[in-house]
Structures are given as C-alpha cells and as structure tokens.
C-alpha cells in the first residue's frame, strides 16, 4: 500500500437563486457528497478552494463548510470564477485537498445538478 499523500478532489453544483440560503445549502450538499463518495473524515481535509460565478455573491461557500460540516480548522478560500461568456451560470466549484492513501484513479469527483455538464468524463458510468 502506498503512503499518504495529498490529492485534489473536484466538485461543482449549481443553485437556482443568488441567496445565502441557496448557496449554503448547495455547498453543504456538494461537500457532504464529496465526503461520502471518498469515505473522508474532516481530519483528512487539508484545505479547500471555492470559486463562484460572477452572478453569485450573496454568501461565501466557505460558510457552509464551517457551519454545516464543522470545518473550523480547515483552511478555506473563496474567489470568483473567470467570467467566460456563455458558460454555466450560478455555479459553485470546489477543489478539496485531502490526505489519503488513494491513487488519483480512486478519487471520486462530484458534479451535481446542472454542473454534471462540466466534466462528463469524470462521472460514474
């Protein structure tokens, strides 16, 4: 078995409205799915980097990680996604860095709602 290393897990989800409630709920849903799919504990999380599209500014996605999942000591950062014309609106993306013994091929990336269109190649077949 290989030793522990840091791996990245990608995920994304869309929201219907630019409200704090929608952003917090959707981010919590996404992070919970990442945790379950990859059999993670909060202690496995090294850090998380969130981006949101320009049309989302009612709340920081990191708020959900702290309030819903208890990631009090996990370094979290939020930024605005590059505003490419015609791309998926109202989208929250995350890159979670985890300490794991899993290989890159064993990592399960999670795309929910309309965000499934972003990385069809990574979804279960």
Set 37, 78, 102, 114: catalytic member: 78
C-alpha separations of 48 from 4, 20, 84 in Å: 18, 19, 23
Set 10, 29, 37, 114: catalytic member: 10
Active site residue 78: yes
Active site residue 5: no
Active site residue 73: no
Set 7, 90, 91, 93: catalytic member: 93
Active site residue 119: yes
* C-alpha to C-alpha distance for 16 and 78, rounded to whole angstroms: 20
Set 59, 81, 90, 113: catalytic member: 81
Rg, Å, the chain Cα set: 14
Q: Which helix (H) or strand (E) holds 22?
A: helix 20-37
* C-alpha to C-alpha distance for 78 and 61, rounded to whole angstroms: 7
Known catalytic residues are 10, 66, 78, 81, 93, 111, 119
């Amino acid at each position: 078995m290989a030793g522990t290393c840091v791996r990245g897990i990608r995920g994304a989800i869309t929201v219907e409205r630019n409200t704090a409630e929608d952003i917090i709920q959707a981010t919590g849903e996404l992070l919970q799915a990442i945790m379950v799919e990859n059999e993670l504990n909060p202690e496995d999380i090294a850090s998380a980097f969130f981006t949101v599209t320009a049309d989302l500014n009612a709340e920081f996605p990191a708020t959900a990680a702290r309030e819903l999942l208890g990631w009090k000591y996990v370094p979290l950062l939020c930024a605005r996604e590059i505003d490419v014309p015609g791309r998926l609106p109202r989208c929250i993306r995350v890159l979670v860095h985890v300490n794991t013994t899993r290989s890159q091929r064993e990592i399960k990336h999670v795309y929910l709602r309309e965000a499934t269109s972003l990385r069809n190649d990574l979804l279960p077949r």
